[in-house]
Copies of this chain bind each other. A is one copy, B any other.
Amino acid sequence: MKDRLVEIAVQEFGRHGFDAVGTRAIAEAAGSAMSAITYHFGGKQGLYLAVAEHIASSMRDKLHPTLATIPDPVNCSPREAEDWCVHLVQVFAAVMLRPESEAWSLFIVREQQQPTDAFKIILEKGMAAIVEPFMALVSVARPELSEEAARLTALFVLGQALMLRTGRATMLHILQTTEITPRLVELIELRLEDNVRRILQRPDVQP
């Protein structure tokens, strides 16, 4: 029952936020009484933190197969680092586009705006796994950048893919569509690859 409550809570908290959902609704959806939450998690806040832990470990599980294939950045040529960055951004974009990840990403985006204790959990246990290798690769691809500039560049590159969630409503309106078709996904991947390659190529090797 404990696990079932967390599963439901991921969806509810993710989609609607902490304040918008009641413990009674979660408990009912899980087929249990509200006081089960008090028993297992000590209260609403405790359940919320359990959701953060769940999301962080899910993130790791989902991204692990991809991250395991990345070679050590110090052994990469700038061109290889660029290729891996393109790949990582596309994997990240795919996560942003997948409907199953909606609850996760909304949870995380909400926490970015008003970080609670839950954000620390997500950041340290989940997010670091993708952001840190990515920054190392950017540094290799653009060795002329300072450490700080490389970090900012990495954030901006990832920001493009993040917008697939954070700007979703505007994107759909501007593209005059209501759903993400496979054709659109292809176009998105193409544009992202073009942008990422342009950003990561060193000035002296641009064609």
Q: Show the binding face of A for B, using Cβ within 8 Å.
A: 15-20, 106, 109-115, 119, 123, 127, 131, 135, 148-149, 151-153, 155-163, 165-171, 173-175, 187-188, 190-192, 194-195, 198-199, 201, 203, 206-207
Residue pairs across A and B with Cβ atoms less than 8 A apart, 21 shown, are: A15-B114, A16-B114, A17-B19, A20-B20, A109-B166, A112-B166, A113-B169, A123-B170, A127-B170, A131-B174, A152-B188, A152-B191, A155-B163, A155-B167, A157-B195, A158-B167, A159-B159, A160-B160, A162-B166, A198-B198, A203-B207
Residues of the B chain whose Cβ atoms lie less than 8 Å from the Cβ of A195: 153, 156-157, 199
Tell me whether B187 and A174 are in contact (CB under 8 A): no
Q: Is the interface of A mostly helix, strand, loop or mixed?
A: helix
Residues of the B chain whose Cβ atoms lie less than 8 Å from the Cβ of A194: 199
Residues of the B chain whose Cβ atoms lie less than 8 Å from the Cβ of A151: 174-175
Tell me whether A175 and B148 are in contact (CB under 8 A): yes
Cβ of A136 to closest chain B Cβ, rounded Å: 12
